[in-house]
Amino acid sequence: MPEWPELERFQSEFRDFVAERDWDQFHTPKNLAMALVGEVGELLEQFQWLTAEQSAELSPEQLEEVAHEIADVQIYLAALADRLGISIGPAVARKMALNAEKYPPEKVRGSAAKYTAYQAPTASTGKTDPEST
């Protein structure tokens, strides 16, 4: 049974979309990663120059544009994972577990600081040790 059936259906549909156009030759992991970042840029462009308040109160037309860019980001992210044989669901679960270790609520509640900001420096280098949490 698929771990994330809807996503896997999109990945399969995208594989067919690409194959029908003979675009697989262009879809190397490097190119898919670059396309993903390009689409993230297009998503950011939707918010460029807006105030924080304006960004939280988008018009229906703006929301539809944002939805299109979110879809583009998701398509390339799913395609990259598919191309590399990475199952996104389990990868997300593993990373969330790591994040929970890095950011224990009793240490970080109410703070937006990166985990390295509250770790003790290591004795040998004086730098924070990301593995020490």
Residues lying near Mg ion in the complex (CB under 5 A) are found at 39, 42, 69, 72
- Nearer of residues 67 and 84 to Mg ion, judged by Cβ: 67
To Mg ion, the closest distance from the beta carbon of 43 in angstroms equals 8
6 close to 78: Cβ distance less than 8 angstroms: no
Cβ-closest residue to Mg ion? 72
Give the span between the Cα atoms of 77 and 84, in whole angstroms. Answer: 11
20 close to 91: Cβ distance less than 8 angstroms: no
- Nearer of residues 39 and 82 to Mg ion, judged by Cβ: 39
To Mg ion, the closest distance from the beta carbon of 44 in angstroms equals 11
Helical segments of the chain, H only: 5-20, 29-45, 52-55, 60-84, 88-102, 105-108
To Mg ion, the closest distance from the beta carbon of 126 in angstroms equals 44
- Nearer of residues 45 and 101 to Mg ion, judged by Cβ: 45
